[in-house]
Amino acid sequence: MIKYAFPPHDPVSLAISGTKTRFPVRRIYCIGKNYADHVKEMGGDVARSEPIFFTKAAETLVASGEDIPFPPNTSDLHYEVELVVAIGPHLKIFGYGVGIDLTRRDLQSAAKKKGGPWARAKNFNRSAPCSAITPADRFDPSKGKIVMRKNGDLVQSACLSHMIWGVDEIIERLRGDMDLQPGDLIYTGTPAGVGPVRVGDELSGGVEGLERITVRFI
């Protein structure tokens, strides 16, 4: 038996829709620049857009219904609603969820200007809210709409079919670069309409056929 110097952290997990069994999370991968209209709103060049991958720690997950203390060191926290793919055994897609890729946009802009890494802009406490996972056989990611509501107002709305890199292509590219394993989550990028969040705001992201992700900032 392994003897640890102090108790190891409990595994991070997400609810699975329709069951008490939980989805054990290993890593979180995220793709940037995956909807042309969002690339344009960020001032990027759609023609030269290649997928950008980055990661968040599993411990940054937040379940639906939880309150999020406003994060430190930012005055421009942004929401990005995203379809989340949950990887199961044998590299099969286990299911899908709706996630929010919270971003400290001011830190990201500063990092971009310096040509430095974005880690602090993306990977911070409670930066990855995610809904319960819906099993893959109950959802088709090639159609349907993804939306974000802020305090009830529609702020993001797009067709999932508008993703530049589809789910299978994203998995194929990640596999060529990383070691995808059961428990990995992939945030598949956000459409246009990203914007700021303040204390007191409620965000609610949805995709037809999936559980919603709803969080409030305190």
Q: Does residue 80 interact with Mn ion by CB under 5 A?
A: yes
Q: Does residue 84 interact with Mn ion by CB under 5 A?
A: no
- 64 versus 190: smaller Cβ distance to Mn ion: 190
Query: What is the rounded distance in angstroms from the CA atom of residue 174 to the CA atom of residue 40?
Result: 24
Q: Dump the DSSP string for 124-154.
A: STT-EEE-PBEEGGG--TTSSEEEEEETTEE
The strand pair at 67-68 and 213-217 is best described as: parallel
CA nearest to 108, candidates 214, 201, 32: 32
- 80 versus 184: smaller Cβ distance to Mn ion: 80
| Closest separation in Å from C-beta 94 to Mn ion | 21
| Closest separation in Å from C-beta 122 to Mn ion | 8
Q: Does residue 184 interact with Mn ion by CB under 5 A?
A: no
How many C-beta neighbours within 10 Å does residue 31 have? 22
| Closest separation in Å from C-beta 142 to Mn ion | 20
Q: Does residue 186 interact with Mn ion by CB under 5 A?
A: no
- 82 versus 211: smaller Cβ distance to Mn ion: 82
Q: Does residue 81 interact with Mn ion by CB under 5 A?
A: no
Q: Does residue 158 interact with Mn ion by CB under 5 A?
A: no
- 74 versus 190: smaller Cβ distance to Mn ion: 190
CA angle 24, 66, 120 (to 5 degrees): 75
| Closest separation in Å from C-beta 89 to Mn ion | 27
| Closest separation in Å from C-beta 189 to Mn ion | 6
Spatial contact of 55 and 123, defined as CB atoms under 8 Å apart: yes
Q: How far is CA 34 from CA 9, 26, 97, 160, 197, in A?
A: 33, 23, 17, 10, 22
Query: What is the rounded distance in angstroms from the CA atom of residue 96 to the CA atom of residue 140?
Result: 9
Instruction: Write the binding mask 97 to 136 for Mn ion: x where contact by CB under 5 A, - elsewhere.
Output: ----x-----------------------------------
Q: Does residue 190 interact with Mn ion by CB under 5 A?
A: yes
Q: Which residues are near Mn ion by CB under 5 A?
A: 80, 101, 190
